[in-house]
Amino acid sequence: MLRPSRFRFLVVTVVGGAVALTSACGSGSPNSTSSTGSVSAAGADASGGASTAAATLRLGYFANVTHAASVLGVADGTFAKSLGATKLETQVFNAGPAVIEALTAGAIDAAFLGPSPAINSFVKSHGNSLRIVAGATDNGAALVVRSDINSAADLKGKSIASPQLGGTQDVALREYLFKNGLKVQTNGGSDVDVINQDNSQTLTLFRSGQVDGAWLPEPWASRLVIDAGAKVLVDESTLWPDKEFPTTVLVVAESFLEQHPDTVEALISAELAAIKEIGADPAKSADVVNTSIGKLTGKKLSDAVIANSFKQIKVTYDPAAGTYNTSSQHAVNGGLLKAVPDLKGIVDLRILNKVLKAAGNKPVGAAGLGQE
């Protein structure tokens, strides 16, 4: 069985029109999202001014438990309500690199995805493609394998899947293999055959014996264990200090952030409201998320899978920027980057911190990226 982990959420409380956030264990009519006296990420006049709200926000996200806040917020209307007159259009993806392709092509404006493809896009665009504006989820990823695989050494000669080349789980897999002396094609070896494919295909191929394991986000790690007889070889949280690592962050196209800060503020506020819902009633939220996943994928998760998946995640607005240089080094070790890049500027937390400050909460920092 999967290792039980802490079931923690950051709870958002709305007080006097502001959003207050505190730690905890464990659709209405449209409204205008512009506010008098706001300071936008683009440096709007603090005394007020014309709204910078966009006519439409095109948002990408995954039908995964590691995207719980976005799945919930879209499903129950929280996002649409917060955006007010701005029309919400959504697109569901399987992995981060595909999201980046859409963002780069101008097909979407913002997205929830893993930090690794966000970093890669930022580097390739010389800092012009996107900004990470908030966190979303920590933890909730694991290497699950056949019952006869008991160590990293047993992976030699095996086929292991990940959602997509350069995705957050793909980078984690290649780093783990590298640290254990096993090389793959991207770093000059062939000890392990890494197969990149959709998570649903991985489940099918694992059942048929065509792959021996996979590094997956939730709920797919739990699905392979509970539905297909796999076991957890590595809970990724055990590989990080304090047993926490970012799985999902919120990114916005740099141009969209500059042109429409009011819309970005409404989106961030909506995410915090969704986090509040999860913290207030995790069981109900898990049911809503599961129902939405069923509509998006064609099949709901079993009660055991959705319950176990939620136990593995930590929903949080903090993007954990202090881990990004380490993630970049992992990509270097896996042969996906040539060197650890300068990531100064990848994180823009001004809008998030504006909301936090208004509620009397401490700001979120970007320690380790030269933005302290």
CB 196 within 8 A of CB 170: yes
pLDDT value of residue 51: 78
pLDDT value of residue 369: 76
SS3 213: strand
pLDDT value of residue 171: 97
The CATH number fitting domain 141-243, selected from 3.40.50.620, 3.40.50.300, 3.30.930.10, 3.40.190.10: 3.40.190.10
pLDDT value of residue 357: 84
> Across the strands, what pairs with 92?
61
CA proximity to 216, closest of 175, 149, 163, 159: 163
The average confidence (pLDDT) of the chain is 87
| Angle (nearest 5°) at CA 289 between 281 and 138 | 80
pLDDT tens digit string along 199-240? 999 999 999 999 999 999 999 999 999 999 999 999 999 999
Confidence of residue 192 (pLDDT cuts 50, 70, 90): very high
The CA distance from 191 to 195, in Å, is 13
The alpha helices in the chain, defined as continuous H runs, are 68-75, 78-83, 96-104, 115-124, 168-179, 199-207, 220-228, 254-259, 261-280, 282-297, 303-312, 324-333, 350-358
The CA distance from 16 to 267, in Å, is 19
Query: Is the confidence at residue 97, as pLDDT, over 60?
Result: yes
Query: Is the confidence at residue 29, as pLDDT, over 80?
Result: no
pLDDT tens digit string along 114-162? 999 999 999 999 999 999 999 999 999 999 999 999 999 999 999 999 9
pLDDT value of residue 372: 55
Q: What is the pTM (predicted TM-score) of this model?
A: 0.85
Q: Map tokens 């916005």 to a residue.
A: 252
For the chain, the domains span: 52-138+244-358, 141-243
Residues 187-191 have a mean pLDDT of: 95
pLDDT value of residue 370: 62
pLDDT tens digit string along 274-304? 988 998 999 999 999 999 999 999 999 999 9
Confidence of residue 10 (pLDDT cuts 50, 70, 90): very low
- b/e sequence 51-75, b meaning 16+ C-beta within 10 Å: bbbbeebbbbbbbbbbbbbbbbbbb
The CA distance from 256 to 260, in Å, is 6
CATH architecture for the domain at 52-138+244-358: 3-Layer(aba) Sandwich (3.40)
Give the residue, 227 or 26, on which the prediction is more confident: 227
Query: Is the confidence at residue 257, as pLDDT, over 70?
Result: yes
